[in-house]
Structure 1
Amino acid sequence: MIGRLIAGRYELATVIGQGGMGQVWTAYDRRLDRRVAVKLLRPDKVADGDDAEELRRRFDRECRVTAQVDHPGLVTVHDAGADGDELYLVMQYVEGADLGDHLAEHDPYPWQWAVAVAAQMCAVLSAVHAVPIVHRDLKPRNVIVRPDGTVTVLDLGVASVLDTDTTRLTHTGSPIGSPAYMAPEQAMGGTVGPRTDLYALGVLLHEMLSGHVPFAGSTALGVLHRHLYEAPVPLRQVRPEVPEPLEALVLRLLAKDPQHRPAGAQDVYRELAALLPVPGAHHGPLGPMDPTRPFLHPHAPWPDRAGAPQPPRPATAPTAPPLAGDDLATAVEEVKRLLDAGRITQAVDLLGGIIPAAAGKHGEHSPVLRALRKQYAATLMEDGQYRRALPELRRLGEEFASQYGGADRQALRFRYEAAQCLEQLGDTTAALSEYRVLLPYFEQWAATDPATPLGIRRRIAHLLLSAGDRAAAHEVLTRLLFDAQRVHGHAHPFPAEIRRTLAWLSRVQG
């Protein structure tokens, strides 16, 4: 494998990480003559047949979305694609030690360091949750402490690719993610949100401060059972010098119910900031890769390095300018070509420029403008831009309801897609409420469209799991399994996935 050329450009050199679903290599970019990191994934390790193809499509989309997140605490994505049977992701090579090695080298880990690592991770999470993206697999191997003390988070979006809507478990029956760091709602197959990452952050903080994860066991099932039903040991019982506010914060981060955790990463950062060292204050000798250094000496040069200035970057990415009316037909054809080529982000930008021109030429209520706005909303959804898609879908739903009545099928379809955006944005309560309102309408059309009401019921079950209401979720899934097997047959993937979730729920609850 050493010396293998990926995409005719990236020459593999050394394995630096390995797991059940792929490997991470150092490599050399022949075109730009630089060192990079290449992650190789095997779709056949987590899916078969059509599922593997769906995984490839999700991989492409997640790479597009995550590549747009610009934050110094995230590894930069350079390239992505498929090479033979493997998917590849080319990333910036980050110098430093992963947090697992950093912990092993510094035992006990200074509590100020733990605060500094967690604060930097909160800054990253605040940026990615705003997109919105949920990391889903925060763990020591996905956190790098660099020589200047800054922290870099890896593998953003990869766990989302593997955790598909059609199967929450791999075909071997193993849960997606790392059980030691997995929130209860994620373990139960519920809908994940920003607070799922905050739980994993709480596990990491507990590990940094105590030397071990709060819930351990000899089997993955045993670990997940402890996440669901056992309370963590308060940190000051094992390490008295930990400040009381820090102990209290970790306990809130590890709450079983997501609603009892802090509201967001920014709130956690504010609490951690009160415990950080004051800039410029004496903090003893700065050891190698001290994570408090960025707070003590903000933007200071790296140790033992000459700080060469970096070229300036544009503050914002260029966007497509509004188009004149005469260019409208040409632009529409260009959008179609971009979509056919899979260039979704460019299509979104171009549609954003077309719509004002179409409104000026044809009017706000014209069929042409409505068709463009429907395409715009659908493309935003395809590109994972749920925050931008939500108001577009709500507006379309309101317009169709105003013209054709609240029970209009197309109006309700837009509301259903808007509810999916709410779910993706982590608004569990609003999404659950909307799905429950919509379900009776779609059940009226079950004779011609049985898949949609079944899908809504499954989403309701997953949201109930996320909210910690396992009894209600079990009841919904049991009824859903009967109807899904009647519609699809026993061997269809949809009822098979429900049976796996019910079996997993029964084992963990037992």
Structure 2
Amino acid sequence: MDFWGEPVRVGELLDGTWELKRLIGKGGMAEVWSAADVRTGGEAAVKFLRPDTEDLRCLDPQELEEETVALRGRFRREARFLSELRHPGIPEFYGQGSRRGLPYLVMQLIDGLSLHAFLVRCAPLPLSSAAAVAVQVADALACAHIRPLVHRDLKPHNIMLSAEGVAVLIDFGIAKPLGAHVTNYTRQGSTLGSRGYQAPEQILEKEPTTRTDIYAFGCVCYELFTGSRPFMAADHHTLNDMHLKSEPLAPSLHGAGVPPELDELILRMLAKSPQERPDAVEALETFRSMAPRSGDPAPSPRLVPDPTAPFRSPRTSPTRPGRPAPDAEEWLDPSEVADLCDAASLEIEENAPADAVGRLAELAPRVRAEWGVRRPVVARVWRIAAEGLRLAGECGGAAKLYDGLAGELGPGDGENAVAARAVARLRAAECRLAFGEIDAALRVIADCLSLAGELPAQLAERITDVCSEVTVDVEERCADPDAGD
């Protein structure tokens, strides 16, 4: 059947598993249905391409073919991204399929409402309630940026609040791996993102970075904390011009009770130059200082859903809303950590880093917090986790672990320790090449080659071998910015 196919209907059964229940939303090129697993009764959201949009129907046959190819590619990429991003603030991916030639994705159903609808109903929010939303979105965004992946369409419509108050970042349909040369995201001549939330570089159709998402997130936070957007205009061109040239008012001028540090953060998020904006982790830490804590009273008047609930409830963790908080009396079991290291090492040997590497990386900060920096097992955890994340392409997370190994987790002060720290520095620089930090990598290579000249031959060779690997990566990227994507 051709692309237009037969309309999706209530009661249809997909892949013998998912029974469609009702249409719950439509976007520009997709529609989302709720579905039930006929075997278990579990619920899911099913996202289909929309074959009935006026934008598609007005295209000539060649344009339609090109656009449908682009849309199908967008669906495939979204499936891949969701399968790789594991975070309570990002929908869990269940699977994908095709219905009469129409592709669909199956993912976690968020039973709630969009942040846009929530703000229409509840704004202005108390400071701690707004911070509770901001913390959760910043945490999810940081998870995507570690990959590194740029969402490119962050706005209140693409943030859901579940019935339990968990904020979930949705719609990775036009997301893009940083530095990847991927065509056919949208038709030529159309600007990605949504009006009123586009960063200046998006408006100018320049290459996005993770700081592009930070600008959009700054627009969302401005609205979240003040009830107003940073810029308002009646027409698209005037609004774009304001985002390109005008400076927003301080949020505190719109709403009483906005502290100076929040003013400073949000205005930096809205900086015209991407280099002047903070990253998601810095934003997360500032918002977290304003978020509610366990035992705090519920907001008054009552909010439904209540984004403070995951923070006030002892059953969930304020840093990972929706996940069980660790029992303060429970400590890590050294034998279990050792077994996990062995399992992760095996995955690395097989060149297939997977669950064990992911679990070890999640445990790494806790291992250091509980056991300090001098126990050899701590460095072992960080080293294996860093190597696994690097091989898996999770460059941001790997770089942070390598930084720890090059710093306070480095083993002692002897020649072996000096070589180990140099290798960690090189690997961190290699990972940051994914963020375009070529000059910094060249400086690290030069430093480490100089250092290798002062060490015994065997240790020097260990350093120079890694220098050679990183140099090859640098040369490839200089020759072709899209190499390796």
Would you call these one fold, judging by a TM-score over 0.5?
Answer: yes
**5+ residue gaps in structure 2?**
1-7, 318-322, 326-335, 355-389, 400-428, 444-470
Q: Does 1:10 align with 2:18?
A: yes
2-structure distance, mates of 1:16, 1:174: 27
SS of the residue corresponding to residue 181 of structure 1 reads coil
1:272 to 248, 271, 287: 287
Q: Does 1:67 align with 2:83?
A: yes
Compute the displacement of 1:51 (Å).
Answer: 6.5
SS of the residue corresponding to residue 289 of structure 1 reads coil
Greater relative contact order (Cα < 8 A, sep 6+): 1
Structure 2 equivalent of residue 90 of structure 1: 106
1-structure distance, mates of 2:193, 2:133: 21
2-structure distance, mates of 1:199, 1:267: 14
Does the CA contact (< 8 Å) of 1:168 and 1:189 recur in 2? no
Q: Does 1:78 align with 2:94?
A: yes
2-structure distance, mates of 1:440, 1:78: 35
2:210 to 148, 170, 194: 194
Counterpart AA for 1:246: L
Within 5 Å, give how 1:199-278 maps onto structure 2.
199-262=215-278, 264-278=279-293
2-structure distance, mates of 1:213, 1:281: 29
Compute the displacement of 1:232 (Å).
Answer: 1.0
1:134 to 123, 126, 150: 150
The structure-2 alpha-carbon separation of the partners of 1:110 and 1:349, relative to structure 1 and needing over 3 Å to count, comes to: closer
Compute the displacement of 1:154 (Å).
Answer: 1.3
Structure 2 equivalent of residue 353 of structure 1: none
2:46 to 30, 35, 38: 38
2:32 to 24, 28, 42: 24
Deviations 1:137-163 (A, max 9, x none): 1111221222332212212354439x9
2:132 to 97, 100, 116: 116
2:435 to 416, 419, 425: 425
Counterpart AA for 1:265: A
2-structure distance, mates of 1:72, 1:388: 17
Q: Does 1:291 align with 2:310?
A: no
The structure-2 alpha-carbon separation of the partners of 1:65 and 1:22, relative to structure 1 and needing over 3 Å to count, comes to: closer
Compute the displacement of 1:220 (Å).
Answer: 3.5
SS of the residue corresponding to residue 44 of structure 2 reads strand
SS of the residue corresponding to residue 37 of structure 1 reads strand
Structure 2 equivalent of residue 103 of structure 1: 119
Counterpart AA for 1:266: V
Structure 1 equivalent of residue 159 of structure 2: 143
Compute the displacement of 1:255 (Å).
Answer: 0.6
TM-score w.r.t. the length of structure 2 is 0.61
Does the CA contact (< 8 Å) of 1:389 and 1:421 recur in 2? yes
- What percent identity do the matched residue pairs reach? 33
Compute the displacement of 1:37 (Å).
Answer: 0.7
The structure-2 alpha-carbon separation of the partners of 1:320 and 1:56, relative to structure 1 and needing over 3 Å to count, comes to: farther
Compute the displacement of 1:279 (Å).
Answer: 2.9
Does the CA contact (< 8 Å) of 1:169 and 1:175 recur in 2? no
1-structure distance, mates of 2:23, 2:297: 40
TM-score w.r.t. the length of structure 1 is 0.59
**5+ residue gaps in structure 1?**
302-306, 325-330, 332-346, 351-379, 391-418, 443-451, 460-510
SS of the residue corresponding to residue 180 of structure 1 reads coil
Does the CA contact (< 8 Å) of 1:122 and 1:269 recur in 2? yes
Counterpart AA for 2:435: L
Compute the displacement of 1:178 (Å).
Answer: 1.0
Compute the displacement of 1:209 (Å).
Answer: 2.4
Structure 2 equivalent of residue 281 of structure 1: 296
2-structure distance, mates of 1:243, 1:322: 47
Does the CA contact (< 8 Å) of 2:110 and 2:161 recur in 1? no
2-structure distance, mates of 1:288, 1:95: 12
SS of the residue corresponding to residue 267 of structure 1 reads helix
Compute the displacement of 1:225 (Å).
Answer: 2.3
2-structure distance, mates of 1:296, 1:92: 24
1-structure distance, mates of 2:441, 2:198: 23
